[in-house]
A and B are shown apart, each in its own frame.
Chain A
């Protein structure tokens, strides 16, 4: 049987070209009828796919970065090899300005740094400043502050849930959560006059007492709110898309969480059972009956579950706070700190001078320093004050939980896909105002 040997160009399943870009030629032996007898495989049949890593910039203006965060990602295809975050695009000089203002004048700035958790920041500031002055607030103020903190926790988690859902692609929970936020806004507006940036505490007490009927408003909210949580729970928790997009993403185990200094729901989802309310309590939190959810895997899904459950626990705390709200003054009776009643300031000379001195010069704490942490919605938040005896602090340091939580993002996104970066970033619950201060 005569055989012919010729070489043919072989169309390969890939692109059929060798390293130099020419079609591969392999020896082929056929018989007279054209049937293939043997074919030698070329040396390198499958050309290696050569690629280079790609550099992608996300932000600082981007819908999904939750503020002005800039991530520079080194990608291998769609997989993240390395992530370098750049922050500072919202640096507002809070700590510098705090050295030029009296203690009560700093309170409006505390609203603006973690603006989702404004009442919580106000409470944290008042607690720290009061420790620095050596006073304790009244019983009524304590319970009012617990109400403020838990309301702000709910507010912040609602935004988190809405915006994370939008990042993953579900738009409707955003509308539900913002509608509930409107209800809380109405309550806050009735209490202190502002929706978002509340400035609701003062050193020594509160800015204002509850108006009549406010507690009924809060009860009404607490009756309706669990239903919204149930709605969102039903929509998301067992949803195949949600589970598929969040389970296993950005997992940090407990050791890594401690090493990276995570706190708040990020740490608790990783299994670190640390909640400032339980471990270093303030405002008599040890007398309230509530649980702290702690997850196991530390992935995005666990963080979602932890935050959802935290909102339910906040509802529990709020109900207890409402039940035990005592009557009494909201401001401590300390003339060094608290303005005299208006009618006295307008009729008595001593009170007017007292008012004048407090407003113009400000209350002066003794020399010292203190750091009082609270559990904000992002984690351990605290203000570190250093006083030299004058009316303005020498140093006002904001310990930003979201800053430290965000520093773990390069670890969390390595090996994940580009679209997962958005989800993981959302799960940290960053607020650039607090991160950049």
Chain B
């Protein structure tokens, strides 16, 4: 129960009150469904750069993603649960990741692995998307450049926790976000510009003024 707020295109935030009480049946059902979902999240590895190599190392023998039920990598988005964006996403690749995300059926989650997928990383320039959350909704951000396999696994466990806290009655969680038809943006342009601003004083340390 409580107020669940979802931002809509145009920046309007509307709340939905979850008014019906949980019963024993729904709680058990939630537990069962979430347990099944969390422990067999089939990732769709959208691996672009160095993080993809660390993802492969996480899937290999030493760190072994199979323990989390994630060894079945699905390169077809139609059969995947988690879009694992591992690596930097330039603007040329933006429509691709948007299309892949839209092709995934609900329930779906997104892990932004690495600094570049989370915020653009060390690539604050004309060609790089400053974080894939400007294009698609992200559930878990895993920092690192590249994150160690342990870091990625921590992020995956965090996602599993998030999955386990979902409620079936909460329809808002599984509603597909529609982009603004004219601009194709999910979040308002001002929000995108704000998210993409250079962070803190990191830019000025080089005295290049840029």
Asked if chains A and B are in direct contact (CB within 8 A), the reply is yes
Residues of A in contact with B (beta carbons under 8 Å apart): 60-63, 67-68, 88-93, 96-97, 100-102, 105, 108-109, 111-112, 115-116, 159, 174-175, 178-179, 181-182, 185, 195-197, 360-361, 392, 432-433, 436
Of B75, B90, B145, B208, the contact of A91 (CB 8 Å cutoff) = B90
Q: Are B53 and A115 in touch, CB under 8 angstroms?
A: yes
Of B53, B90, B207, the contact of A92 (CB 8 Å cutoff) = B90
Q: Are B88 and A90 in touch, CB under 8 angstroms?
A: yes
Q: Are B49 and A196 in touch, CB under 8 angstroms?
A: no
Say how far A166's CB is from chain B's closest CB, in angstroms.
10
Q: Are B96 and A60 in touch, CB under 8 angstroms?
A: yes
Given contacts A67-B47, A92-B125, A93-B127, 6 further A-B contacts (CB under 8 A): A90-B88, A178-B57, A182-B57, A195-B57, A197-B50, A197-B146
For B73, what are the chain A residues with a Cβ–Cβ distance below 8 Å?
63
Given contacts A115-B49, A179-B60, A196-B54, contact A96 B208 (CB under 8 A): no
Q: Are A195 and B75 in touch, CB under 8 angstroms?
A: no
Q: Are B207 and A91 in touch, CB under 8 angstroms?
A: no
For A62, what are the chain B residues with a Cβ–Cβ distance below 8 Å?
75
| A249-B54 Cα distance, complex, nearest whole Å | 30
Q: Are B206 and A97 in touch, CB under 8 angstroms?
A: no
For B207, what are the chain A residues with a Cβ–Cβ distance below 8 Å?
360-361
Q: Are A159 and B53 in touch, CB under 8 angstroms?
A: yes
Q: Are A178 and B145 in touch, CB under 8 angstroms?
A: no
- Total interface residues in chain B, CB < 8 Å: 36
With both beta carbons as reference points, the residue of chain B lying nearest to A115 in the complex is identified as B50
Q: Is the interface of B mostly helix, strand, loop or mixed?
A: loop
Interface hits, B84-111 → A, CB 8 Å: 87-88, 90, 92-93, 96-97, 100
| A100-B123 Cα distance, complex, nearest whole Å | 12
Q: Are B100 and A61 in touch, CB under 8 angstroms?
A: yes
Interface hits, B176-210 → A, CB 8 Å: 206-208, 210
Q: Are B148 and A68 in touch, CB under 8 angstroms?
A: no
* Cβ-based interface call for B173 (8 A): no
Q: Are A432 and B48 in touch, CB under 8 angstroms?
A: yes
For B50, what are the chain A residues with a Cβ–Cβ distance below 8 Å?
111-112, 115, 196-197, 433
With both beta carbons as reference points, the residue of chain B lying nearest to A105 in the complex is identified as B206
| A91-B128 Cα distance, complex, nearest whole Å | 8
For B123, what are the chain A residues with a Cβ–Cβ distance below 8 Å?
92-93, 97
With both beta carbons as reference points, the residue of chain A lying nearest to B62 in the complex is identified as A182
Q: Are B122 and A88 in touch, CB under 8 angstroms?
A: no
| A108-B146 Cα distance, complex, nearest whole Å | 12
Say how far A69's CB is from chain B's closest CB, in angstroms.
11
* Cβ-based interface call for B61 (8 A): yes
Q: Are B53 and A100 in touch, CB under 8 angstroms?
A: no
Q: Are B96 and A102 in touch, CB under 8 angstroms?
A: no
For A182, what are the chain B residues with a Cβ–Cβ distance below 8 Å?
57, 60, 62
With both beta carbons as reference points, the residue of chain B lying nearest to A176 in the complex is identified as B61
| A61-B98 Cα distance, complex, nearest whole Å | 12
Say how far A174's CB is from chain B's closest CB, in angstroms.
7
* Cβ-based interface call for B24 (8 A): no
Say how far B200's CB is from chain A's closest CB, in angstroms.
17
Q: Are B96 and A97 in touch, CB under 8 angstroms?
A: no
With both beta carbons as reference points, the residue of chain B lying nearest to A100 in the complex is identified as B208
Q: Are B49 and A102 in touch, CB under 8 angstroms?
A: no
| A91-B73 Cα distance, complex, nearest whole Å | 26
* Cβ-based interface call for B141 (8 A): no
| A109-B206 Cα distance, complex, nearest whole Å | 15
| A341-B87 Cα distance, complex, nearest whole Å | 36
Q: Mark B24-68, 1 if CB is under 8 A from A, else 0.
A: 000000000000000000000011111011101100111000000
Q: Are B127 and A92 in touch, CB under 8 angstroms?
A: yes
